Chain A
Amino acid sequence: MISAPAICSALLIAAAPAGIARADEAALHLKDSPDAALVVSKCSICHSVDYIQSNAPFLKRAGWEAEVRKMVKVMGAPLDEAELARVVDYLTLQYGSDAP
């Protein structure tokens, strides 16, 4: 059992370091390609990139584009249109089902 450690500040609830990746997450490695670094830098703001690895390889380009647009429009991911296009290209080519 966990005993919740009382390491909280005066704030009702101490915010955990949300942006800090877990040690095991650091070992995740996306397929090499010039835009892999862009994908990691944007997507891993909010989630580990095993979301990408595990959702593969069944999405076609339209499916990946829908996911990335949802992340931008609904979840607030900070990508401009040019970055979005590069991320969709990367995901389609490296983790898509209709990759050439």
Chain B
Amino acid sequence: MVIRTRRSLLQTALGGLGLLGAGLSGPLARAGLPAGTLASAVLDALAGKRPLLKRSYRPPNYESPVSYLNEVITPNDRFFVRWHLADIPTIDVASWRLSIGGDGASRPFELTLAQLQHEFEPVELTAVCQCAGNRRGLSDPHVPGVQWGNGAMGNARWKGARLKDLLARAGLAKEAVEIAFNGADGPVLEATPDFTKSIPAWKALDENTLVAYEMNGEPLPHWNGYPARIIVPGWTATYWMKQVVSIRALAQPLSSFWMNTAYRIPKGKFPVVDRFLSQESETTTPVTEILVNSLITNLEEGQRFRAGSAIVVQGLAWDGGAGLRRVEVSIDGGRSWQSAQFGADLGRYSARAWQYAFTPRARGRVAVAARASNAQGATQTEQLIFNPAGYYNNVIQPISLEVT
């Protein structure tokens, strides 16, 4: 089913033009999506999903409209969808098996879904799942790839077994440097590299790294990795392998296009703390933790308000698990900032709601923006840190409101 609402498309188009912020007097600029992205976007509902913004049909890449992120937990049917390869099987849970082994494990074994659910202590945590390329479409200059806006992310309550418990049963060797994952999905052509990923052994042994079989109290949606996916709280979603069928402990770093070439950033350019030493090269390093970020979720570019009436600005803030310290809101295009009020704390890997209210007295444009900071002293940037693949965009985004 394709639902094309002229209004939504128009709003997307306006929000993406990048020109609307040109009249702002502060230091912030609003970036926009490429014209071709705006023209080809439609609201389309995959089976079991509400309409999402389609970036590509096949493989399916669909992002949440920003308004879907206006609640701190993203419902399963509103959660974004991202696949690299187009052969995505429907999983028969009766025959699905998860194998745990590799040359860094002495006692390889297999699990059914029921065994995964019942033979290991279940753990629940709330964590942001965010594509490393979220906001790629807002890169200036634009860079090739899926042209994501702000919605290649969601925040959910995950339930699963600790990866470290599975690895302990498999007899993990001290020599293991990485834990590699493969999913049931595959390429159309045999020649295309299968999507495989690895994480450092130290991150795999973190008590928060899970093999999840529930999302917000329900089985994972097909499009989000049913029946089980890897959860790497604090790290970008590229490592959160969907439809996982294989977990391998490796004595040598994983060699795969998706590790050696893709999902890399220039070394030293970003304020990341977590390092992935076994995969670092002279010049590049894999993406690791999510950078501190925020999003205004209840306002749209150009929205109109009356002078003298209160405007409530609300949104989400999140980071890689260091812990949020504050969210500040500017109503003058980034020249001055005031603290916003936090909502409930759902844990250090969760997004956190915040809000800020003000009453504009004068008519005209008001440039509203939010910026989050974390316990490591990191904050969002005013200027894009350009990189050729468009990862790690946490630029402060102004929204221009009309007060009449």
Residues of chain A touching chain B, judged by Cβ–Cβ distance below 8 Å, are 1-2, 4-8, 10-16, 18-19, 21-22, 24-25, 28, 45-48, 50-51, 53-59, 63, 67, 74-78, 95
Contacts and interface: CB of A to CB of B under 8 A. Distances in A.
Contacts of B186: 18
Interface string B135-146: 000000110111
B21 interface: no
B55 A54 contact: yes
B226 A4 contact: yes
Contact of B35 (A7, A56, A59): A56
A44 to B, nearest CB: 8
6 contacts: A6-B93, A13-B92, A48-B57, A58-B34, A76-B189, A78-B189
A22 B92 contact: no
B90 A25 contact: no
Task: Please provide the 6 A-B residue pairs with the shortest distance between their CB atoms, ordered closest to farther.
Answer: A76-B191, A8-B92, A56-B36, A2-B48, A18-B87, A58-B142
Contacts of B144: 55, 59, 63, 67
A1 B222 CA distance: 9
B257 interface: yes
A43 B97 CA distance: 33
Nearest to B215: A1
B77 A46 contact: no
A6 B188 CA distance: 22
A13 B2 contact: no
Contacts of B191: 75-76
B192 A76 contact: yes
B147 interface: yes
Contacts of A57: 34-36
A4 B142 contact: no
Contacts of B145: 55
Contact of B261 (A21, A59, A74): A74
B95 A47 contact: no
A46 B188 contact: yes
B92 A14 contact: yes
A58 B191 CA distance: 29
A59 to B, nearest CB: 6
B227 interface: yes
A1 B76 contact: yes
B266 interface: no
Given A13-B95, A28-B40, A50-B56, 18 more contacts: A1-B76, A4-B93, A6-B94, A12-B245, A13-B90, A21-B58, A22-B58, A24-B42, A46-B189, A47-B59, A50-B40, A53-B36, A55-B34, A56-B34, A56-B36, A75-B191, A75-B192, A76-B190
Given A1-B77, A48-B56, A74 B193 contact: yes
B322 interface: no
Nearest to A27: B2
B88 interface: yes
Interface string B34-45: 111101111010
